[in-house]
Amino acid sequence: MLPDAKTYEELVAKFRWEIPEFYNMGVDACDRWAETEPGRIALTFVEEEGRVSDMSFGMLRAQSNRLANLLVDSGLERGDRVGILLPQLPETAFAHIAIYKAAAIAVPLFLLFGPEALEYRLKNSGARMVITDAEGARKLESIRSQLPDLETVFTVDGAFQDTCDLYAEMSRHSEMFEPVRTRADDPALLIYTSGTTGPPKGALHAHRVLLGHLPGVEMSHDLFPQAHDRIWTPADWAWIGGLLDVLLPALHHGVPVLARRFEKFTGEAAFELIQDFRVRNAFLPPTALKMMRAVRDADKRWTLDMRTVASGGETLGSELLAWGREVLGVTINEFYGQTECNMIVSSCGVLMPPRPGIMGRAVPGHDIAVVSDEGVPLGSGEQGHIAVRQSDPVMFLEYWDNPEATRNKFAGEWLLTGDAGVLAEDGWIRFVGRDDDVITSSGYRIGPGEIEDCLIGHPAIRMAGVVGKPDPERTEIVKAFILLAEGANPSPDLEREIQNWVRERLAAHEYPREIEFVDALPLTATGKLIRRELRTRG
């Protein structure tokens, strides 16, 4: 989508959005290539045991069409929600494509979510169907009775109690499917994001969200795609960073995507994978980069041939940028965005040298400003809210079933990202910090409210406050301040029990790595928790 240009200024001057009235991102990410080059490789899947298999665009179309037919024959209607509870698998990719082709709405779900996290998202979205595996089916079994809208669970690895064997069911359906004609503004994707208070909010995106991502993906990967590109990310495809920063844009461009689910990510495993599969492009969150940087003599142990590395989630310092040039052989490009409006700011090493500590410039097509609380653009050097002007193709439609939260996301014609920043005279944007209490840990955005609600469900806890504590590797860790119920006493055993309580009910990345038992929590006159006071306690 980006035009040919030698400078950033030329890129911006030449750029024009090309958003058709009718558009389906499942067709765009699959069928275009399947019609012209059916043998072209779409996915390379590396299993835990080391087995490798390729999926062509022709195979991707056939499987997604079979699944779309199955879903429709099972009663799926336009606008219905379908949960996808899977890791990086070929089935994850063709499930998304099938759902989009059927004009339904995909709801990505992180496989490491516990039952409470899954129950909330599935109940809130009203999902009628879920596509998962045995691990996911076990979690759903315990909450199925709490999900009145959930009619059918398909499992990719055989049938289990109350589930249907996905492949057995698909085998009875045709490889031919006529995609539903959708408008670019029709809803396609419901992806949940953490907030400061209360449960997560579902950000509803239209089909055009894929087109909206393209300029940012192309800019952050030095004018992607180029010959021989092959892309990989350790980020789960259930998150917007894995799905819309890597998987779908790469398929749009016909670039092979490497899929690999690590039981446990390590820097050594990442280097091995990049070398063995000749990965040319990677989206590596800052935590992954830090883990790779900790590996000694990496430039001597592995031979890499990378063209680009993009990273987002926090500003990279000069030392990490220098390491990237020395060991990875590339200038790491930083980008910025959030679930509601992603890939809107980026650096681009082939067009402009990076500025350590400053995340980048507005991606062409996105009108970015730093504004006041009232939505008034501020001058250069003034700190305010990083904001995006409305009517942007990458911007979400609304928060699912939450009009008040949708209204509060905007100030006038500007969407407020929730981050504070400063705009330089030449358009570079410096990230200052979050405006709210959302915790950034290992690339995940974690809402403290959901963890606090989970904690107070423990019989030994009367009240809890959760904040992010700075951490050199993870950016922040989750720290919980806990006021115990009468009769309960602090102990290492209780601390471990509380950590497991959260890990098992929400997710492994959300449990409090540090717990402090307190005699009181700071509250406002109306009884609201004052988290900023907790943060000052460390």
In the chain the domains, ranked by start, together with CATH numbers, are 54-207 (3.40.50.980), 439-536 (3.30.300.30)
pTM of the model: 0.87
CB 62 within 8 A of CB 70: no
pLDDT class for 448, splitting at 50, 70, 90?
confident
Q: Is 457 helix (H, G, I), strand (E, B) or coil?
A: coil
Which range, of 293-307, 389-403, 416-430, averages the lowest pLDDT?
A: 416-430
Q: Is 168 exposed, middle or buried (0-12, 13-18, 19+ CB in 10 A)?
A: exposed
The pLDDT assigned to 252 comes to: 98
Q: Does residue 526 carry a pLDDT above 70?
A: no
Q: In what order do the strands lie in the sheet with 52-56?
A: 52-56, 41-46, 257-260, 231-232, 281-283, 308-312, 333-338, 341-346, 361-362
* For residue 371, pLDDT beyond 80: yes
Copy the structure tokens of residue 339: 């679930």
Q: Distance between CA atoms of 399 and 486, rounded to whole angstroms?
A: 39
Could you tell me the CA-to-CA distances from 490 to 102, 480, 520 in Å, in that order?
53, 13, 14
Lowest mean pLDDT among 130-134, 236-240, 357-361: 357-361
How much is the pLDDT for 195?
61
Q: Is 73 exposed, middle or buried (0-12, 13-18, 19+ CB in 10 A)?
A: exposed
Burial class (CB in 10 A: 0-12, 13-18, 19+), 79: exposed
Sign of the Cα pseudo-torsion (17, 18, 21, 25, in order): negative
Q: Is the peptide bond before 225 cis (omega within 30 degrees of 0)?
A: yes
